[in-house]
Amino acid sequence: MTYVVTENCIACKYMDCVEVCPVDCFYEGENTLVIHPDECIDCGVCEPECPADAIRPDTEPDSERWVEFNRKYAEMWPVITAAGEPPANADTMDGIPNKLQTHFSPEPGQKDAS
């Protein structure tokens, strides 16, 4: 099993999950994060840290597409090991439907300074 970041992280990108990850398997896009499913050790510490409830186990329905989404972008984006500031409008974006179609950016995030 692995955990994956799902659609609600898009344009929220709170990053509370990043610093609790013991294996540094989070990768940063311009406006979202992903978990590399081959690096995740299924510890689950990240899931309750997400204020947007965007981290889910891959055992939930519809998770296969999120596993592949996370894998694809984890291969392209830089690893992130330290939390940064979420977008100023993160609270407003939390829960907005269809963010994958309307707000997702495939661009990488900032290179992690650590």
Q: How confident is the model at residue 113 (pLDDT cuts 50, 70, 90)?
A: very low
Tens digit of pLDDT for each residue in 53-62? Answer: 999 999 999 8
CA distance 40 to 24: 8
Average pLDDT over residues 9-27: 97
Q: Kindly write down the DSSP assignment for every residue of 42-63, as one continuous string.
A: ---SSGGG-TT--EEETTSTTH
Q: Does domain 3-83 have CATH number 3.30.70.20?
A: yes
pLDDT in tens, 36-90: 999 999 999 999 999 999 999 999 998 999 999 999 999 999 999 999 999 999 9
- Our CA angle for 21, 81, 60, nearest 5°, is 40
Token readout for 54 is: 């965007």
Q: What are phi and psi of 29, to 5 degrees?
A: -100, 175
Write down the pTM of the prediction: 0.94
Question: Whole-angstrom Cα distance, residue 84 to residue 69?
Answer: 22
Residue among 112, 101, 113 nearest 29 (CA): 112
pLDDT confidence band for 111 (50 / 70 / 90): low
